[in-house]
Structure formats: C-alpha cells, structure tokens
Structure 1
Amino acid sequence: MASSFFATSLLPVALFVIMTGLGLTLTPGDFRRVLVYPRGMAIGLGNLLLLSPLLAFGAAIIFDLGPELAIGMVLLGAAPGGTTANLLTHLALGDTALSVTMTAISSLASVLTTPLFLALATWHFLGDRPDATLDMGGIVIKILLITLVPLSLGMLVRHRATGFALRAEPWVKRAALVFFVIVVAGALFEARNEALGMLLAVGAATLSLNLAAMSLSWFIARKAKLDTRQSTAIAIELGVHNTTLAMAVSAMIAPIYMIPAAVYGIQMLITAGLFVALIQRRNAREPVAA
C-alpha cells in the first residue's frame, strides 16, 4: 500500500474536523466531572487506557497477525474514545456526561499513551528489524498537532462565542460523520489489493477485540457496583474508539498499519448499535442518578 493523498492530506484534515467538533461540545465542567464520578472515571479510564491496549496485544498474538497489522491493532486498542461513543451512549440512555468526560480525558491522555503503546508494539513485533526505529519525538508532536490543537480551538470557540458554537455544533458533527465514513472507506479502498486472507484475519481479530472490550468493561463496571447507565457509557466507550486517530497515527508509519482501524470502524458501529438496542429499555427503567 503506497502512501497517498488520502493518507497524507485528507486523513489529518478529517481528524482535525472531528477533534474540533469534540472541542465545541466541551466546557471546563466536563473535566471537573472527574471529581463528580471518581469511581466511574477510574474504572472507565483504567479500562480504556490499559485494558483495551492489552486486549489488542492479545488479539494480535492469538490471531498471529503479521508485524505491521499487529502494531496497527495495538494502535487501535490504544486509541481514545470517540464522539460517536457519546452519541450512542445518549441513544442508549446511558450516562452521557460520563461518556463525554471519558472521551475528553482519554483524548488528552492519548498524546502520551498512544506513542507509548506504539513503542512497545514496535519493540515486541518488529524486534531488531531496520524499520523498527521510529521517530517517536516527531510522532508525539504530530499527535499533539492533530488532537490537542483542534480540541483546544473548539473549546476556545465554545468559551468565546457560545451561541455560535451551539449553532455550529450539529453541522460540525455531521461533517465529522461524513469525514469518518470517507476515511474508513478510503483506507479500505487502499487495501483492496491486499490479500483477502489477511483482511479476513484482521476482521476476526478486530471483532474479537471489540466484543471482548465491551463485554469485559461491562462486567468490571457491574462488579464495581456502578449502575447500568454508567456501565453502559463505559462499555460503549471501550467499544467505539476514535479510529480516525488510530488511522492518522498509522499513516505516519505506513498505510498498511491503518487496516485494523479501518475494519474496526465498520464493525464497532454494528456491535455498538446492537448493544444500544438491547440496553436502551433496561436503562429507561432505571432512575437517573442525582
């Protein structure tokens, strides 16, 4: 898979729009909710920042993926929650405020955690190969530019021009959704010449990661005695990643690394959508926590 206009130009623009859209939804109060939901935040972020990448490592090993695809799997697992998770949590009548806060905090943390897990995956799967040496400093700076800069820009607009931000937010969300579809379709199109067997192997690995992450995070949340609304938010957050960020970071190395995130981007909407349909009625019966 050769580098292309899609990977080098369109993908960063798509992520910029998506992260700006997230920023338009955030206020300082969203970050203060860490103190309001300490147990839910600790469990949700612990699952998101540690459990998910480890499950991705496990899936890559169990399904015996090649080094590039295995590293792409880990990048996918290390990606933060996405704005789509917030929307699906809202539709499921889950704790949307908790979902938004987890997305915001994990997006900030991704500047450090994504390069960390990328370095670990590269060391584990590539070993002493010549292409195992990556410019981690450059990758950190690029992640900073494509995540925190647009996120901060969106928050600044929300603070300085709240009325405009509220009016623009639905349109930015629609644009973000369109860009998401474009980047997933573009990544899969670029992979059209790859071996079918490799794509099938990735599909099995990514689906297993998705189901394991959602199931285990739900189980952990319930065992910690969180209510079903908070457990719903955590399960969806673990299942619906910011795959655009995973693809953008992957494209910094080589387009083939994007394949797991692109395949996952389709699967997660199906599995999370089914989960929403199943849990919505149960959440409707549970009183909203004060």
Structure 2
Amino acid sequence: MNALQPLFNAITVIFIAVTMFAGGLATTLSALRAVFTDLRLLALALLANLVAVPLLGWGLAALFSLPTAGFIALILVAASPGGPFGAKLSVVQKGDVSAGTATQVLLAAVASLTFGPMSTAVLSVADVGARISLDVAALVRTVAVLQLVPFAVGLVVRHCARSTARSWHPVAALVSNVTFLMVLAGMLLGSWHDVVALLGSRTLLAGFVLAVAAFAAGTLLATGPSARRTTMGCVTAVRNVGPPLAAVGIAFDDAQAILGALAAVLISGLVAVLPIAAVLGHRRGDLT
C-alpha cells in the first residue's frame, strides 16, 4: 500500500472536493439561508458533535476498557466532526442534502479550531497519551481548500447558471460515487492487516457502537422533518479523519498501534452507518 499511497491520497482529495462541489450544485441559496438562519438546528448540531459525541467516545473507551492505542484512537475520532462522508451519506439516504452539506462544512470549519483543545482535555483528564499541539492554521486551510471552496463554487454555478448546474450535477455525482467506492476499497486494502489483528477486540466494537450512538444523538438533537433529522444523524456519525491523522503524526510520532486502531475505529464506524443510510434511502425511494 505504501507505493500506492500517493494515488490513494489523490483519490481521497478528488472525492472530498467533488462531493462538496456536487453538494453546492444541488443547493439553492434559499435552502442554505434556511439552514444557517435556523439557530436552534445549528446550536443542537454543535451540541451533538462538539459535546455529546466526545463524551460518548470517552465513556465508551472507559466502558470497554480499551488498550492505550484504542483509547487514544477513539477519543481522537470522537473529537473530530465534519467528515466529508457525512455529505455523501445525506445523498445515499435521500435526505436533506442542503442541510447535511452545509452543516458538515460548518462542523469541519469549527472543528479545525476545537479539535486540539477538546482531544487534549479528554486525554489529559483520562490520563492517557500526550498533550496535542496542532497547526490550527494548516487545518483551517485544508478545510477551506478541500471543502469550503468547492462547495462555494458549486453554489455560485447553481445560482448564476442553473441549467449548467443541472447538466454538471449528474457527472459530479457519478465521480463522487466512483471515488467514494475507491476510497472505501483503499481504506480496506491499506489497513486490512491492522483490522484483522484487532478482530475480536473491543476497539472494533467500540468504534461500531460510537457510530450508532452518534447517529442517535445527531438525530435526536435535531429539528425538522424526519429526512432532516436522520441527515443530521449521519453527519454526526461520520467523523473527520484529517485532524486525528495529524495528531498521531505530531503527538505520537506516527505510532503504528494508534494508526491501526484509528483505521479500525473509522472502518467499523462506516460499517455501522452505511447500512443505516442505505436502508433509509431505500425506504424513501419506495415512497416516491
């Protein structure tokens, strides 16, 4: 996988950028305004993602008595909301794509500032690991370049040239779908030995339970119709891998045990939430 790592990284970048661009193409300014002016929805989304899920991660790590590597990995994942897969799952479940994409971008931006303090606080109180000091400016730039800018460009195209947006959206959605599958395959191929080594361990189970609990928290702490609430659930369940990877490289010297546990937590979380989104999408498809 080391030889293919640059290719995998490039595909991941394409997936994130195209997914956000497609989200912008499918979003109207009125829909976006409705999300950002719904202060109760935004406050509940921030509460779910920045408070409830980190506390759930800490509680599950303690409940399952995870080994040090698994404990650290679960805390880092729980403290990092705004994963681009969340926007993708809003499409898979035929949910409120505008609300899901806008909220995911907002969470990624906010988490670029809160991830370091939150994860450091939990690990310090739990007396696990080292103090995490991240380049906040670099995280903000990454979020801006890969998520905010493509979404804004798609939004401008939708607003200024609606017919163009309609013709481009199916192509962007197709590229997003294909690269989504390639990223999933790359994660499995690149970390299968780490995941296999953790089979039967509590780390995989903790990652699975965290994703399900995060989906429940995001759905319950949301407003509006069912499609919007379950969309918030999927956005909450999918965490952002970038900050945890940076933290492992900076604070833990790329410790292989923590990287393996991180991959296991992320993959088990996707295994938990993907079927939920697929079932919701199937049911909503039957109703149309």
Task: Using structure 2 for the length normalisation, give the TM-score.
Answer: 0.74
C-alpha contact 2:25 2:169 (8 A) present in aligned 1: yes
For residues 130-169 of structure 1, what are the structure 2 equivalents within 5 Å?
A: 132-169=132-169
| Stretches of structure 1 lacking an aligned partner (at least 5 in a row) | 285-290
Shift of 1:23: 1.2
- The one of 80, 84, 87 aligned to 2:88: 84
Question: Paired residue for 1:100?
Answer: 98
Aligned residues: 269
After superposition, the Cα gap between the structure-2 partners of 1:17 and 1:209, relative to the gap in structure 1 and judged at 3 Å, is: same
After superposition, the Cα gap between the structure-2 partners of 1:61 and 1:107, relative to the gap in structure 1 and judged at 3 Å, is: farther
Pairwise CA RMSD: 3.6
- The one of 247, 262, 267 aligned to 2:267: 262
TM-superposition CA deviations, 1:104-142 (whole Å, max 9, x none): 133124212244134421453377967833222212221
Question: Paired residue for 1:181?
Answer: 181
Task: Measure the CA separation in 1 of the matches of 2:113 and 2:130.
Answer: 19
Task: Measure the CA separation in 2 of the matches of 1:248 and 1:271.
Answer: 24
- The one of 210, 218, 230 aligned to 1:235: 230
Task: Measure the CA separation in 2 of the matches of 1:249 and 1:16.
Answer: 17
After superposition, the Cα gap between the structure-2 partners of 1:197 and 1:262, relative to the gap in structure 1 and judged at 3 Å, is: same
- The one of 100, 123, 126 aligned to 1:125: 123
Code of the residue aligned with 2:234 in structure 1: it is G
C-alpha contact 2:79 2:118 (8 A) present in aligned 1: no
Question: Paired residue for 1:196?
Answer: 196
Code of the residue aligned with 1:170 in structure 2: it is P
Code of the residue aligned with 1:246 in structure 2: it is N
Shift of 1:150: 1.0
Shift of 1:58: 3.1
**Is structure 2 residue 111 aligned with structure 1 residue 113?**
yes
Question: Paired residue for 1:247?
Answer: 241
Task: Measure the CA separation in 2 of the matches of 1:49 and 1:129.
Answer: 21
Of residues 169-178 and 187-196 in structure 1, the stretch that sits farther from structure 2 once superposed is 187-196
After superposition, the Cα gap between the structure-2 partners of 1:107 and 1:187, relative to the gap in structure 1 and judged at 3 Å, is: same
C-alpha contact 1:206 1:263 (8 A) present in aligned 2: yes
Shift of 1:38: 5.6
| Stretches of structure 2 lacking an aligned partner (at least 5 in a row) | none
Task: Measure the CA separation in 2 of the matches of 1:209 and 1:134.
Answer: 24
Task: Measure the CA separation in 2 of the matches of 1:105 and 1:220.
Answer: 13
Shift of 1:263: 3.2
Task: Measure the CA separation in 2 of the matches of 1:240 and 1:53.
Answer: 15
After superposition, the Cα gap between the structure-2 partners of 1:165 and 1:241, relative to the gap in structure 1 and judged at 3 Å, is: farther
Task: Measure the CA separation in 1 of the matches of 2:37 and 2:133.
Answer: 42
Task: Measure the CA separation in 2 of the matches of 1:78 and 1:61.
Answer: 24
Code of the residue aligned with 1:235 in structure 2: it is T
Identity of aligned residues (%): 21
After superposition, the Cα gap between the structure-2 partners of 1:38 and 1:241, relative to the gap in structure 1 and judged at 3 Å, is: closer
Question: Paired residue for 1:287?
Answer: none
Task: Using structure 1 for the length normalisation, give the TM-score.
Answer: 0.74
Task: Measure the CA separation in 1 of the matches of 2:143 and 2:218.
Answer: 26
Task: Measure the CA separation in 1 of the matches of 2:27 and 2:281.
Answer: 24
